[in-house]
Structures are given as C-alpha cells and as structure tokens.
Amino acid sequence: MIQANYKHQQLCEQLRREISSGTFAGGRFYTVKAMMERFQVSQATLTKALQPLYDEGLIYSVSGKGTFVSGNAGRNGGEKREVLPTVYCIAASEEMFDPARTSPDWCFTQLMLKGVVSAARRRGIPINIVPISTGLEAFRNLADREESMFIFLNYESCEQLVEHVVKKGAAYVLYTNEPISRKLNTVFCDVGKATEDATSVLAERGHREIAFFGDYPDSARHRGYRRALRRYGLPCREEYGWFVYRGLPEPAREEALKHLPVCPEVSAVVTATDYRAIGLLQALRELRRVCAVISIDNMWKYYPSAPALTSVDMHLEQAGEALFEALMQKHEDGLDRQRTIPHTLEYGSEQNKQF
C-alpha cells in the first residue's frame, strides 16, 4: 500500500524490490498505465519514482516498445546477477489445442510436455510452452533474443526453425524418432526399432501371416515391420499393409473392417499407434475374430481398452525429461549429443503373453 507521504520514494523502493526478486528476468517492465492504476498514483509521482531506477541502470526504455528490465538487474538494489535463460518449448499449435482432430499427436505432446515441465521444475527454471506455426518470420521474435533457448518437440515440422537456431548458435535440443544424417543435439526414440521388435515377438510366437496397420507405407514404423519379416523369412505382402492417415479409433475400425475379411489367414497385427489398435480390436469383436495385436505407443496407460493392449512403451515422459537436461548441458558446454531413450514391451495381461 502506497502511503500519502513520500509516495514516490515508497513506490521506488517497492518497484526496486520487485525487480531484484527476478520477476522480470531481463524482460518487459510494467506499463505506465498499469502502474498508475495498480498503485493509484499520478503520472508525476510515477515519473519521480522511476527516475532513480533509470539512473541505477535497472530499467531502460525503448522508443515505441515500452520499458524493460536490464539483464544485470539483481538483488540488493542493482547488484549484478546471472541472467536466467528463457526456455521455449516449441510445439505445433494443432498438437496443443485440437485433441479431437489429431488425438495421437495431442497425447504425444502432452506426455512429452509433462516430462519437460517436471525436469524444469526440479531445476527451478521457468519453461514457456509455445504453440507455434512453422513459419520462420513469426519465430524470429523469439529466436533472435540472446538469452533464448529452445526445445523442439517435432523435427519434421520445425526443421527450418531448428536451422535458424543452429545458425545463430543458440542452445537447443530436438526430439526425433528417425535417425538424422547430420550431427545435431537430439533425444532419439527409435520407433522403427520398436516396431521391428514388436513384429519379432509375434514371429517368435509362431505367427507367420502378420499384417501392419499404420499411417503410410514408407514410415519408420513400416520399415521396421518389413525388416523383421525379412529376418524371419516371412511374407511381406502388399495386402498386409493397412493404412489410415487419421489414426483415431473410429476411422481405424472402419479401415480394419475392410481388410480383415479379405485377409482371413492373418493371425497377428502390428499397429503403429494404440488408437489404431483400439479401432482394430473393435472390428475384431464385430467380426467375432481372434488376432494377436501389438501396438506402439504410450497411450494405453491413459486410454484403457478391453482387452488390455500389449504395447511398446516409448517412454515419452522420460524423453521429455531428457530433452530438458540435454538443453541444459548444451547451454553449459555447447556440445551436440544424441541421447537414445530405450523402449520396452508392456503386456496388457497374462493372456497376452501367449498370443
């Protein structure tokens, strides 16, 4: 509360304390209008209160943009302190806000973010979640700030943003589920190897006619499936590739109902996502047919199905934590590394182990 006497001195000290607390971390300061309304003071009183802060170098003004807190503004009234980095976690906007349209991507993003935020909290560093388009011009406002650091949740959709950050020499890390030919600072979850391992489990259980249910023929998952078939000398027939781009349960169910009747010999199916597996199980029930099903995902933990899915857990929360720690290490020593997150097969029930 600002008292009647010596208003400008009291206000100056209060603002100095807020600056020293690190609240603004080298960023934008209050607007004049906001301070006048909050503290119920005149513009003349506010001007007198702000002048010492300008004189001490704690704040500065940029014409047409506003007032900012200096990067060296610290505790004890102007004592220099290390400027905390500003960490931005970049995710595609549709993956953040449209779970109905792209549920697998939405769930993937939520799981990854959970790990990122958890790791950031342990270090006491704030994280900014940025749903963004992939246009470079919109991104420059963030990327061209000296203290900015970046976590990219999807390399394919953010490639030009990554390239911009690399050229600037800013600290960054990116998630990828396919190998990248050049050396970048990455956290890698090998979905191709996960699918290969899942297919191998079915082959080792004696299945010889194994179908694949995914999004498109040349995906990393489909390549992993084909590698396993070649290793076991099993047929890789065109009619065993079932594809539906939108991997939600209902479109997957409809697609499965088209393929299952024309492939009566298929005894097992590897699905690229848990949502496709849920749709496939619904189709199998409708047709009163039994098939072994293995999926690739984390979502089975959050969206239970009956029977319980057997799925390869890609440990996306762990990957999110690894992304943040990799960013901090890049910030400290400037080196690029590749960290691989292992996957594990999680059986839905004891009966599933028999397939």
- Residue 354 belongs to some domain of the structure: no
Q: 332 and 244 in one domain?
A: no
Q: Are the C-beta atoms of residues 321 and 339 closer than 8 Å to each other?
A: no
- Residue 350 belongs to some domain of the structure: no
Q: What is the pLDDT of residue 176?
A: 93
Q: What is the pLDDT of residue 241?
A: 97
Residues 290, 31: Cα–Cα separation, whole Å: 66
Q: 133 and 175 in one domain?
A: yes
- Residue 12 belongs to some domain of the structure: yes
Residues 228, 198: Cα–Cα separation, whole Å: 9
- Name which residue leads in pLDDT, 81 or 338: 338
Q: Token pair 């949502």 is at which residue? A: 275
| Residues 192-226: tens digit of each pLDDT | 999 999 999 999 999 999 999 998 898 999 999 99
* Residue 118: partners with Cβ closer than 8 Å, 6 or more residues away: 317, 320, 321
pLDDT over 90 at 270, yes or no: yes
Mean pLDDT along residues 110-133: 86
Instruction: Determine how many CB atoms are found less than 10 A away from the CB of residue 159.
Output: 14
- Residues facing 285 on adjacent strands: none
- Residue 62 belongs to some domain of the structure: yes
Residues 154, 136: Cα–Cα separation, whole Å: 15
* Residue 11: partners with Cβ closer than 8 Å, 6 or more residues away: 2, 35, 39, 41, 45, 46, 49
- Residue 238 belongs to some domain of the structure: yes
Q: 129 and 57 in one domain?
A: no
Q: 331 and 183 in one domain?
A: yes
- Residue 1 belongs to some domain of the structure: no
Q: 229 and 275 in one domain?
A: yes
Q: What is the pLDDT of residue 2?
A: 43
Q: What is the pLDDT of residue 128?
A: 86
Q: What is the pLDDT of residue 81?
A: 42
> 78, 100, 125 — which closes off a domain?
78
Q: 28 and 113 in one domain?
A: no
CATH number of the CATH domain containing 261: 3.40.50.2300
Q: 108 and 69 in one domain?
A: no
For the chain, percent of residues with pLDDT exceeding 90: 43
Per the prediction, the chain carries an average pLDDT of 84
The model's pTM is 0.72
Q: How many domains does the chain have?
A: 3
**b/e 193-209 (16+ beta carbons within 10 angstroms → b):** bbbbbbbbbbbeeebeb
**b/e 278-296 (16+ beta carbons within 10 angstroms → b):** bbbbbbbeeeeeebbbbbb
What DSSP character marks residue 217?
T
- Residue 333 belongs to some domain of the structure: yes
> 57, 78, 99 — which closes off a domain?
78
Q: 276 and 198 in one domain?
A: yes
Q: What is the pLDDT of residue 32?
A: 86
Mean pLDDT along residues 10-35: 81
Q: Are the C-beta atoms of residues 342 and 315 closer than 8 Å to each other?
A: yes
Which structural domain range is residue 152 located in?
86-189+316-345
- Residue 234 belongs to some domain of the structure: yes
Q: 202 and 294 in one domain?
A: yes
For the chain, percent of residues with pLDDT exceeding 70: 83
pLDDT over 70 at 252, yes or no: yes
Pairing of strands 268-271, 86-92: unpaired
Q: 303 and 205 in one domain?
A: yes
Instruction: Determine how many CB atoms are found less than 10 A away from the CB of residue 18.
Output: 14
Q: 178 and 116 in one domain?
A: yes
pLDDT over 80 at 177, yes or no: yes
Q: 197 and 185 in one domain?
A: no
- Of 6-10, 179-183, 218-222, the range with the lowest mean pLDDT is 6-10
pLDDT over 90 at 47, yes or no: no
Q: What is the dihedral of CA 296, 299, 305, 307, to 10 degrees?
A: 40
CATH number of the CATH domain containing 54: 1.10.10.10
Of 267, 150, 259, 127, the C-alpha closest to 203 is: 267
